[in-house]
Each structure stands twice: as structure tokens, then as C-alpha cells.
Structure 1
Amino acid sequence: MFGENNFSTTEDCMIYVDSHDIRFALSHAIASLDCDESDNGAVIVRGGIEIRAAHNDYGTPDDSGPDEFLQWWTVLEIIPLHNALEGKVREVSERILLSLWGVPLRAVAACDFKLELPHRGGIDLY
């Protein structure tokens, strides 16, 4: 979905957000983070993390079923860069989820460590 990149794939995270407005979701996701916007529209977080927001090509108006979050309209990808600090993806993912839930927006993480995040990455909330 996002093309080829120059980053480590050892610990990334996708967060699905129930919002049609990508910029709205991204602005709330990064509100509590120390970050800058890059030339390509991605957000760079101190500590070596890149956050990209995109329209989910699989988004549908039907939000029924146990895996409905996979069809939500916006996807945030949290990517460790070559200089990422250990555990930074988990920290940033947790902060993003808490920020989005506070709006409130429905958001669920899809990553190897989702069970270690609050509310099991959000799956317990929906």
C-alpha cells in the first residue's frame, strides 16, 4: 500500500481508524508526539519513527463482523527507521491509540505486539 522503503521491518504497526478524513485522524494521532512533517507528507517522530497516513483501499461502508476494523477508511502506519530506538514503535503506537480514543475515534492496532497495548490494541473496545 505504501511502496518500497528504506527502513527496518522488524517491528512496525498499522492502526486502522474509523474516519474518512485522513488529515483529521493524523492530526489527532500526532497531537501528543514530538514530531515534524517530512517532504513526502509523512510525519517523523523523534526517536526514529515515521508515521504515514493513507486511505484504506479496502475500506467499505459495511462495518459489521469481527474483523470490521480492517475495512475502516484510514490506516496509519508506524514505521521504525534505521535509527529507531528500541521499543519506540510500541510507545508511539500506544500514544496514538490513546489520543485517537480520546477524540473519540474508533481505532485498532494490527501488529505483533497488539496484545501488549491498552485494550489489546483496541480490539477489546469494539
Structure 2
Amino acid sequence: MSRYDYCRILVTEIAIADTQSLLGRLFEGTFQQRTLTVGDIEVEVRRNPDGRDDGVPCNDFVRWPVQIEIEPNTPHGEAAMVETVSRALEALWNAKAQAVAACDFEDELPWNGGIQRLRPSGTE
């Protein structure tokens, strides 16, 4: 297994349908149900099974209501994972959503996958 074989992005402050619309425009594609194919990568947007969607703000990102799963569908897709995840994160942040990536290559993503946007440097 490669460190680039999977990434999960947890999102709040944007609905699932709006997330799909945003990512569809960003990657110039159409979702087939919950999945968008971007070259050698698949992007799936769905409800986070561990998430909260009760209208109460939640600072624990693992409980945010929207989950995006990004996986290469060919071995060549791994080479594009950092760029694809980075573009998705930046688009979500520009749309005023909060988003944090959870993957083995967070250190290669903007804001360390978004965690530095939530926590000031040097705090845990």
C-alpha cells in the first residue's frame, strides 16, 4: 500500500449537494450518484456516518457532517493525489466551508491538510 492510496476530507458549513456541485465545477465533471471520476482518481461525496448535522457548531472535525473520499482508480492516479486533494481543499475554503483532510500525506497539503487553519501553530 502507498501513502497516496486514500484521502478523506471532512467538511462542515456546506451541504452535500453544494459540495458535489462545487467539485463538479472545479474538476469539470458530473457526479454519477455520489461519485465523480477525475482522470485516474475517484471522488465520492456523502454523509459522514460519524458526523453531526444537528445545527450545533462542532469543533471536532471528525464529527463534521460531509465526507469526501478520494482514491486513485489506477496506479497512475497516486501521482495526482496531492494536487487533486489540494485543489479540493482550496475550493472548499474559498467557498467558506471548513475542511480538513485525513490521510498519510497531510504534510504535503496546504495548511497540513487544513488542521493548521483550525489550530494555531504549536498547539495540539
User: Which TM class, normalised by the smaller chain length?
Assistant: 0.7 to 0.9
Does the Cα contact within 8 Å between 1:45 and 1:51 map onto a contact in 2?
yes
Structure 1 position 20, deviation (Å): 5.8
Question: Aligned runs of 1:18-97 on 2, under 5 Å?
Answer: 18-19=12-13, 21-38=15-32, 40-46=33-39, 48-60=40-52, 61=56, 63-64=58-59, 68-82=60-74, 84-97=76-89
- In 2, are the aligned partners of 1:31 and 1:99 still within 8 Å (CA)? no
SS in 2 for 1:25: helix
Q: Distance in 2 between matches of 1:26 and 1:44?
A: 12
Match of 1:4 in 2: none
Question: Counting helix residues as a fraction of each chain, which structure ranks higher?
Answer: 2
- CA deviations 1:5-41 (Å, max 9, x no partner) are xxx9952100000046211112223432143433x43
TM-score by length of 1: 0.79
Identity %: 31
1:115 and 1:31 map into 2 onto residues whose CA distance is 26
Q: How many residues align?
A: 114
After TM superposition, which residue ranges in structure 1, 4 or more long, deviate above 4 angstroms?
none
Stretches of structure 1 that go unaligned for 5 or more consecutive residues are 1-7
Is contact 1:36-1:45 (8 Å) kept? no
